[in-house]
Amino acid sequence: MTARLLDGKRLAEQIREEIRQQVERFYQTTGQRPGLAAVLVGDNPASQIYVRNKRRACEQVGMVSWLHHLPGETTEAQLLALVRQLNDDPVVHGILVQLPLPRHIREEKILEAVAPNKDIDGFGPENLGRLAAGRPRFVPCTPLGVQVLLRRHDIAIAGRHVVILGRSTIVGKPLALLLLHKGPDADATVTVCHSRTQNLAAMTRQADILVAAMGQPRFVRADMIKPGAVIVDVGINRLPDGTLVGDVDHAAVAGIASAITPVPGGVGPMTVAMLLHNTLRAAQLQAGLLSAPE
């Protein structure tokens, strides 16, 4: 069997075009452009690239974006003050605080301070709580990207066993909550594994859909999957020679799986597309064009 390639790059381009048209309609209706404020603290090169790509993606669909690039020695109080100022600014619809923050700043304090209706990453306690309650407002972008990728490739989720490798608050845990919901593109039976899970391969071999989000290069080998499984590789790892690889041994696993995402070009572009989706949604909610979730 040769797995079907789940091309996230091409799908993300389609979704971005759909969003561009919706942004245009939003502008015709309100005279405003959805606006994203990105906050970057310090000089982490990967973070700088991520923020640059996200801002460029916003501008390509007709949104406005602002970069607040603060020095690495910025205090927690100064960052909180900036977040509050952005919370109060009516042209800012979405606020993105690029993680990781420098160690002297408590990430949770900053994420808690972002106004819930501008929390387009969905990392604040209110939005995570809503997701857990099955009434999401903003779903974190990578989990949402995984769900949309599966839906738009007509891969059924309901009733299937999804095994997720990784329990982080930005990927594994919210994805588990999302796929566990009652309703369309969900209703999965979900198992979440982590570094303390025993006999991991026995878990992964049960997966109809296996999602790897661990940050361990080529960890998932061919003998760890069930023939015909769908494989979603969230991992992005740079090898010493500069090559980017996922958490899955792609070449070997593609011979056994029924479908698999590439790295790069799989989940990564979907994450950026979902950031645009959430920013547009934030603008629509704030303009009263969508009814706010109860």
- List residues near ligand NDP by CB under 6 A: 142, 165-168, 170-172, 193-197, 200, 213-216, 234-237, 267-268, 271
Q: Which of 205, 206, 253 is nearest to 232 (CA)?
A: 253
CB of 247 to ligand NDP, least distance (A): 6
Return the residue nearest ligand NDP (CB atom).
168
Catalytic residue among 121, 233, 247, 249: 121
CB of 170 to ligand NDP, least distance (A): 5
C-beta of residue 216 within 8 angstroms of C-beta of residue 238: no
CB of 28 to ligand NDP, least distance (A): 32
117 versus 237: smaller Cβ distance to ligand NDP: 237
- The single-letter code of the amino acid at 91 is V
Tell me if residue 247 is catalytic: no
CB of 264 to ligand NDP, least distance (A): 8
Tell me if residue 173 is catalytic: no
C-beta of residue 93 within 8 angstroms of C-beta of residue 118: yes
Q: How far apart are CA 177 and CA 48, in angstroms?
A: 30
Catalytic residue among 98, 147, 284, 286: 98
Cα atoms in the Cβ-side hemisphere of radius 13 Å centred on 293:
16
94 versus 217: smaller Cβ distance to ligand NDP: 217
Q: Is the dihedral of CA 201, 203, 207, 211 positive or negative?
A: negative
Q: How far apart are CA 271 and CA 263, in angstroms?
A: 13
The catalytic site residues sit at 54, 98, 121
